[in-house]
């Protein structure tokens, strides 16, 4: 059957049940202003609007364009330079395609891939190759930062460190270990921000989608993490002149819609998830949210929109005035990036991790650092 290859790429968490339902809807006609009578191929989850392929693709593009314009994320023909954080996953691959569809020539775009050195399933090498090929297809200049080359440590090294803690029963160190994905996140954030600032980009776009945003919102709410809850939604409003605004044009497009958009437009992407993220407890929260969506259609978009419209401004005001009163911005004495202390948290973490690797070397006489696995040099 024509959809069999798609089932391979749509994982359970992509809500394949809803996808099946939408295939059943194919007996229906496109409801686009009652004027199009093509067979419907997809039903927009929050509005129940059944659309044909062309109108589904246009619906997604129109919603993305509306958000870009409403939030003034970036503007064509104004000499602005947009950096897209490209991971080779479906979200950033679709983002590249939509931005090139909306602004084929009138926007200066480049892409950056962070090579994190994850060897399982050839994850990092394959992701980088897919992202690079897709950028080549659109003539988008593609850059790579290899964390092993720049910092001597990659994510596989950090995973090995955790395994050593477990084997050696170093409970204190194990408790202090934040998790591979958390270190990965700070490698990505720090390097994307630094690269964008140093190269004069006016905005950085990432592929964050509605399903992931709603899940992290729920997670931060359950953890009562005020700092994360105070963060803005689709566009960051940084008060630091050293930080380039970060924008999320797919903020209100669900993971299922992105998967279907990629399918109908034949967009290549790496279907496998980061091997370390698979064990993440946050994945469970996503499944819960998708279940709620089954009987409260449109819940995800309504609660995310509502939060950023009503609650986030209140939390932000309270939180920001509290930290502003306590701290003022400096530049890190080690790397020159903005920080509220003397040394930024990225440099502090790097220093701590290097100390931990030395400790393993000295106490256990084993070297757990992997070889430099340079890939996609640019
Ligand atoms: P994730 O946190 O993995 O869901 O990724 C969210 C977004 O961050 C992606 O859509 C990309 O825009 C960006 N991103 C993730 N991983 C990388 C990477 N290795 N290099 C560059 N950008 C990335
Ligand atoms: Fe990079 Fe999990 S280690 S996202
Ligand atoms: Zn139609
Ligand atoms: Zn620093």
Nearest Cα residue to atom 23 of ligand 1: 87
49 and 36 Cβ atoms separated by less than 8 Å: no
Task: Examine the pLDDT at 341 and tell me if it is beyond 80.
Answer: yes
Ligand 1 site, residue 92, Cβ cutoff 6 A: yes
Read off the pLDDT of residues 233-274 as tens digits, 9 standing for 90 and up.
Answer: 999 876 688 999 999 999 999 999 999 999 999 999 999 989
Nearest Cα residue to atom 3 of ligand 2: 181
Task: Examine the pLDDT at 350 and tell me if it is beyond 90.
Answer: yes
Question: What pLDDT score was predicted for residue 352?
Answer: 96
Question: What pLDDT score was predicted for residue 260?
Answer: 93
Question: What pLDDT score was predicted for residue 331?
Answer: 92
Question: What pLDDT score was predicted for residue 375?
Answer: 42
* pTM (2 d.p.): 0.91
SS3 content of the chain, % helix, strand, coil (to 5): 55, 10, 35
Task: Examine the pLDDT at 319 and tell me if it is beyond 50.
Answer: yes
User: How far apart, in Å, are the Cα atoms of 150 and each of 64, 154, 232?
Assistant: 35, 10, 30
- H helices of 38-179, where? 53-70, 90-102, 123-137, 147-151, 155-167, 171-176
Question: What pLDDT score was predicted for residue 136?
Answer: 98
Instruction: Write out residues with Cβ below 6 Å of ligand 2.
Output: 116, 155, 180-181, 184, 274, 276-277
CB neighbours of 11 closer than 8 A, spacing ≥ 6? 271, 273
Mean pLDDT of 183-200: 97
Question: What pLDDT score was predicted for residue 45?
Answer: 80
Read off the pLDDT of residues 29-84 as tens digits, 9 standing for 90 and up.
Answer: 888 877 898 888 888 888 888 899 999 999 999 999 999 999 999 999 999 999 99
Give the Å distance between the CA of 33 and the centre of ligand 3: 9
Question: What pLDDT score was predicted for residue 174?
Answer: 96
Mean pLDDT of 319-347: 83
Read off the pLDDT of residues 89-137 as tens digits, 9 standing for 90 and up.
Answer: 999 999 999 999 999 989 999 999 999 999 999 999 999 999 999 999 9
Read off the pLDDT of residues 145-181 as tens digits, 9 standing for 90 and up.
Answer: 999 999 999 999 999 999 999 999 999 999 999 999 9
- Rounded to whole angstroms, how far apart are CA atoms 12 and 15? 6
Question: What pLDDT score was predicted for residue 20?
Answer: 59
Question: What pLDDT score was predicted for residue 320?
Answer: 74
Which of the pair, 157 or 7, is modelled with greater confidence?
157
- Residue ranges matching CATH 3.40.50.620 in the chain: 56-326
Question: What pLDDT score was predicted for residue 366?
Answer: 77
Give the Å distance between the CA of 173 and the centre of ligand 2: 20
Task: Examine the pLDDT at 88 and tell me if it is beyond 70.
Answer: yes
Nearest Cα residue to atom 16 of ligand 1: 87
Residues counted in the chain: 378
Which of the pair, 294 or 368, is modelled with greater confidence?
294
Give the Å distance between the CA of 30 and the centre of ligand 3: 5
Question: For the chain, what is the mean pLDDT?
Answer: 88
Task: Examine the pLDDT at 333 and tell me if it is beyond 70.
Answer: yes
Give the Å distance between the CA of 183 and the centre of ligand 2: 8
Question: How is domain 56-326 classified at the CATH fold level?
Answer: Rossmann fold (3.40.50)
CB neighbours of 313 closer than 8 A, spacing ≥ 6? none
Question: What pLDDT score was predicted for residue 378?
Answer: 34
Give the Å distance between the CA of 124 and the centre of ligand 2: 10
């Amino acid at each position: 059957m024509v959809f069999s290859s798609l089932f391979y790429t749509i994982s359970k968490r992509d809500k394949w049940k809803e996808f099946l339902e939408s295939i059943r809807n194919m007996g229906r006609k496109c409801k686009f202003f009652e004027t199009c009578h093509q067979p419907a191929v997809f039903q927009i989850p929050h509005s129940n609007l059944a659309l044909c392929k062309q109108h589904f693709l246009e619906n997604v593009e129109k919603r993305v364009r509306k958000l870009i314009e409403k939030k003034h994320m970036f503007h064509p023909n104004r000499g602005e330079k947009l950096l897209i954080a490209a991971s080779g996953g479906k979200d950033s691959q679709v983002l590249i395609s939509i931005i090139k569809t909306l602004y084929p020539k009138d926007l200066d775009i480049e892409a950056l891939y962070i090579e994190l050195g994850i060897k399982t399933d050839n994850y990092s090498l394959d992701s980088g190759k897919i992202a690079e090929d897709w950028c080549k297809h659109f003539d988008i200049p593609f850059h790579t930062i290899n964390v092993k080359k720049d910092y001597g440590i990659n994510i596989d090294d950090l995973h090995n460190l955790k395994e050593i803690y477990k084997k050696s029963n170093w409970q204190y160190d194990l408790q202090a270990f934040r998790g591979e994905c958390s270190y990965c996140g700070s490698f990505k954030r720090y390097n994307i921000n630094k690269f964008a600032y140093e190269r004069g980009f006016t905005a950085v776009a990432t592929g964050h989608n509605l399903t992931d945003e709603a899940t992290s919102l729920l997670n931060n709410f359950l953890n009562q993490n005020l700092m994360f809850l105070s963060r803005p939604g689709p566009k960051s409003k940084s008060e630091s002149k050293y930080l380039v605004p970060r924008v999320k044009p797919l903020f209100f497009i669900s993971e299922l819609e992105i998967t279907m958009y990629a399918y109908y437009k034949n967009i290549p992407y790496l279907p496998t998830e980061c091997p370390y993220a698979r064990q993440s407890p946050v994945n469970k929260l996503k499944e819960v949210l998708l279940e709620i969506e089954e009987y409260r259609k449109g819940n995800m978009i309504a609660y995310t929109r509502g939060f950023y419209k009503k609650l986030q401004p209140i939390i932000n005001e309270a939180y920001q005035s509290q930290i502003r009163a306590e701290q003022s911005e400096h530049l890190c004495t080690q790397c020159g990036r903005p920080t509220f202390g003397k040394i930024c948290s990225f440099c502090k973490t790097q220093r701590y991790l290097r100390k931990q690797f030395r400790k393993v070397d000295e106490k256990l006489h084993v070297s757990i650092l992997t070889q430099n696995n340079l890939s996609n040099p640019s």
